[in-house]
Amino acid sequence: MDKLVLAILKYGLLPAFLCVIIFLIIQDPTRAYKLRTLLMSPFYKLFKWFKREFIANEVAGTLTHFFTKVLSMKTSYPLKFKINWVKTDDNPILKSGKLIIRMRKDEDQTKNILTATRYALTKIVCPNFRHNIQPAYVTAIDFTFLHKLADGLGNHGKAIFRQYFLNPEVENDPQFVDILKKFLVLDKSGLFSSILINELDHVGEGLFGDADTNDRTGALIKFVEFLTHIAEREIGEDNQLEHFSETFKVSIILLARAIMSSRKGLYPYLKRLNINLEKGSDSIYVVAYPPAFDFLGKFVKVLDGNQRVSIDRIDRSKDKILSKSNVSICCLRRNKLYSNETFLKKVQASNMVAGMNVDGSVFDCSTEIALVTFLGVDATIVQSDCSWLSFHTCTDILSVGKNYPFTIKNIDLDNCNITLSLKAAQPHPWSVIQHPLVNDIIDLEIVFLDSVNLKCLYRNTIEVIAPIKELSWNGEDYDTNLIAIGKTINCKVLSVDDENKTIVSSPRALIEDPWPKIHEALVIGTNFNGKVLQIDENFVKVSLENGLVGRIPGSSFTKAGYEYANYMANLVIGQVLEVIVTKVFIGQQWIRLDLKRNVRPTHPPNINPPNINTQNKPKKKHQTKKV
């Protein structure tokens, strides 16, 4: 042993260590792999840690830039992100001012960035309003931001977004596509983040403070339609610039005409601002296009000392890297702490109280709201208070310069606003004639239609709603000749709400629901020769036998390859495709198909579905029940 120690001291520790290793390897050659693994393990773990930290910081940095610089999101705390890699799914949490996102690591860094952004959006973008709208609209909001981010990540980002995010969502919920298209139109015009999302954040805070969990999807749909009309307007085209509902009280001032601003200055716009406040606007968005950017600066400078409004934020999308439009938007909020003593004195001097009958003159009138003056004060009347019929607008009932007998509905001293009503002195239609009952079969006259409902009259007196989705068992594929204004349709009453005085009817309820039979007949693998009806970037709609309609997801054409890879350019309406049924959704009432070349058939090709009636064409004529 002493000789061994002396030899080690003589030649050094390293040569002796190498000699031992060589001896062990000669004795057993397999030890070489074990020794190599043992030596390289510390370096492997060290560099693996550096790689994980690099990717985590890269993802966090991209998210921080996207939310703070590109979107200019407003939060009560500085936005900071941290990525924690985990092996199981976990929800993102807020901690110490940081948004800690726990997610699985993917080898594709672009996919990591998009996944982390999707998690972060739920906590940052209108978090309070999400509980008040349907999931499809929540997903469409998030995917609009993801679409914007994917565009900035290049062609690879667009491909990853479509393959792993957009396509799976489209296959699960076809309604999501139509909503996303509307949001992308707003985003392209610069109105999505600056107006829609900003207003959803503002309204959501109020709903959260009031513990209000009611569904506001209907109000959101109308607000999006209002913004879409503005986004698609032509230069010089007049549009409705006020939107008033129970949820949203928004007006817009456009600063697009440089000639008018140079000739008349700020006065017309300040006057419009006061009119919008008198109408009841809680939020006023001043939108300026390139010719009026300098004029917007003057306008904002004057408003900086205004007691009735406060400047909430100014978005200049021309400074944003990913913006496709050149527009600046200033958001003004009503100052609810401001009180007009002159207004209060006039109210007290005339002994005004709710329920008082007054004679007023209309001096401004739009479809949704009108301004009325009486006894030296100005008041407003909204569309819903002009008539018991919801499809009547203010312009249908009132005319500028004429006097009408009004009833004071409410006096708001905080906002210096008086609301009037014309309905109070009129009998409700339900008290004039007997309303129809559930399961009654009635004839209705179509008097108004929108994207959701047909509004009809029963015996020319009572309003009855017929949802468009109730026109046919084929969903949106219905006979368009049924919905002409003035047309009479035969319906079955589905529900009667005595409290809210609403009646819902259905034309398709007159025939049996065919979808259970369709589901039974169209087993997975059933073959068809379908004709192309509609070509969309996300799906292709084809007609099948017996009046049925199915959808082929866009991913099926990508999978098929060859001429189908670019199906948007190569397919034509009326072209015959060999398709196979992959699933029948009874609840959503649609048939998912795939190309025959993609799926091996599991059902004999000569089996056809039974003759199923999906249109509102009953074999026997129904008699109208008289009440």
Q: Which residues of 34-48 are buried (b: 16+ CB within 10 A; e: fewer)?
A: eeeeeeeeeeeeeee
Residue 104 and residue 68: Cα distance in Å, rounded? 24
pLDDT(489) > 50: yes
pLDDT(485) > 80: yes
- Domain ranges in the chain are 2-39, 52-166, 187-334, 341-425, 429-510, 515-595
pTM above 0.75, yes or no: no
Mean pLDDT of 272-280: 84
Mean pLDDT of 120-142: 88
Residue 244 and residue 385: Cα distance in Å, rounded? 12
Please name the CATH architecture into which domain 187-334 falls. 2-Layer Sandwich (3.30)
**DSSP sequence for 472-541:** -TTTT---GGGG-TT-EEEEEEEEEETTTTEEEEESGGGS---HHHHHHHS-TT-EEEEEEEEE-SSEEE
Residue 179 and residue 183: Cα distance in Å, rounded? 6
Does residue 166 come out as left (phi exceeding 0), alpha (psi in the -120 to 50 range) or beta? Answer: alpha
More confident residue, 258 or 37: 37
pLDDT(250) > 90: yes
pLDDT in tens, 190-206: 888 889 999 999 999 88
pLDDT(97) > 50: no
Does CATH place domain 429-510 in 3.40.50.620? no
Residue 321 and residue 70: Cα distance in Å, rounded? 6
Query: Which DSSP category does 192 fall into?
Result: I
Closest among 91, 79, 185, 73 to 140, alpha carbons compared: 185
Residue 317 and residue 193: Cα distance in Å, rounded? 10
Structural element, H or E, at residue 57:
helix 31-65
pLDDT in tens, 304-358: 766 678 888 887 764 333 334 578 889 999 877 665 666 788 888 888 898 899 9
Structural element, H or E, at residue 92:
none
Query: Quick one: pLDDT at residue 280?
Result: 84
Look-up of token digits 């949106």: 476
Cβ burial, residue 4 (10 Å; 0-12/13-18/19+): exposed
Mean pLDDT of 137-162: 89
Residue 197 and residue 211: Cα distance in Å, rounded? 20
Residue 374 and residue 23: Cα distance in Å, rounded? 109
Q: Report the range out of 297-306, 371-380, 572-581 with the highest average pLDDT.
A: 572-581
Look-up of token digits 């994980």: 52
pLDDT(260) > 60: no
Q: Which residues contact residue 143 at a Cβ distance below 8 angstroms, ignoring those fewer than 6 apart? A: 165, 166, 169, 176, 180
Asked whether this chain's domains 187-334 and 429-510 adopt the same fold, the reply is no
Query: Quick one: pLDDT at residue 407?
Result: 92
Domain 341-425 is classified in which CATH homologous superfamily? Answer: Nucleic acid-binding proteins (2.40.50.140)
Q: What is the 3-state secondary structure (H, E, C) of 244-301?
A: ECCCCEEEEEEECCHHHHHHHCCHHHHHHHHHHHHHCCCEEEEEECHHHHHHHHHHHH
pLDDT in tens, 522-580: 888 888 898 998 898 888 999 887 778 889 998 889 888 888 888 888 889 999 999 99
101-110, 586-595, 598-607: the lowest-pLDDT one: 598-607
pLDDT in tens, 196-249: 999 999 999 889 888 888 889 989 999 999 999 888 877 656 678 899 988 999
Phi, psi at 226, each rounded to 5°? -60, -45
pLDDT in tens, 14-62: 676 677 777 666 766 666 656 666 666 665 555 555 656 666 677 677 7
Task: Report the top-level CATH class of 515-595.
Answer: mainly beta
Looking at the chain, the whole-number percentage of residues with pLDDT higher than 90 is 18
SS3 389: coil
Residue 379 and residue 354: Cα distance in Å, rounded? 13
Residue 102 and residue 59: Cα distance in Å, rounded? 12
